[in-house]
Amino acid sequence: MSRIMTGKRVLITGASSGVGAALARQLAAQGAVVGLIARRRDRLSEVLDECQMTSPDSAMWVADLGDTATVGRLALAAWHALGGIDVLVNNAAVPKRRAVTALKPDEVEAVMRVNFAAPMRLTLALLPRMLARGSGMIVNVSSVAGRLAILHESAYCASKFALCGWSEALAVDLAGTGVSVKLIEPGPVDTEIWDRPDNDEPSYRGPKVAADEVAEGIIAAMSSDRFEHYLPNLKPIVDAKNADLDAFIAGAARQ
């Protein structure tokens, strides 16, 4: 087992289930100190208990990242409690599968707060400290939906496209500072996001990747020199879309 993360302090959002929980468990098993953030105290406590078996200094914070006014303070509280943060993993996300003709503005803004504004605020809160130290890493877990439009996913796609653009510009601005940026583009992952209430049925019916497999890919990305990582590798589909966007839109609309 790789020990490259031993002693690293990693703050993970959306850590009570799915990819976030899998990532926390794997990192803790490799000797990292993990800070866990999520809304559901009971589920988060279960993940923390598992992590503390191999990483006793790990900790958790129960928070709703949709309450963006508190996110900056949360980030600083985690920094002080962990004695600094080496890696911030912005993983938390909420869906909103609904035809755009049925969407309400408040629903779109709620998705944007969790999926984009919270990562932005966490990053901006921690960045001055990482820059002063001369080291750090921001890992933004976007989605292939941040590169491809998906039927009835306009709110989710908007938030993930925003996270992709933010991450790219962040990487440009931070080049040479010692603070690196990684952009993760998972495909369909077998998590609770498919079963959330108040969402239309997903149009996708194909295979899904296990959360543990995506978590392994994120850990590998942390030690890579590359910026963007597709898990699994759906980049050829994105490249085909970019080569003929009109054809892609016509095909996607027929799903």
Report, as residue numbers or ranges, the catalytic residues.
156
DSSP labels, 24-37: HHHHHHTT-EEEEE
Place of tokens 């149009």: 203
Report the C-alpha gap between 150 and 157 in whole angstroms: 7
Task: Supply the DSSP symbol for 87.
Answer: E
Single-letter residue type at 29: A
Task: Supply the DSSP symbol for 225.
Answer: S
Report the C-alpha gap between 82 and 71 in whole angstroms: 17
Starting at the edge strand found earlier in the chain, the sheet holding 179-186 runs 59-62, 33-38, 9-13, 87-90, 136-141, 179-186, 228-231
Place of tokens 């962990």: 82
Instruction: Find the helix or strand (DSSP H, E) in which 189 lies.
Output: none
Give the E-state strand segments of 129-198 in sequence order.
136-141, 179-186
Report the C-alpha gap between 30 and 3 in whole angstroms: 5
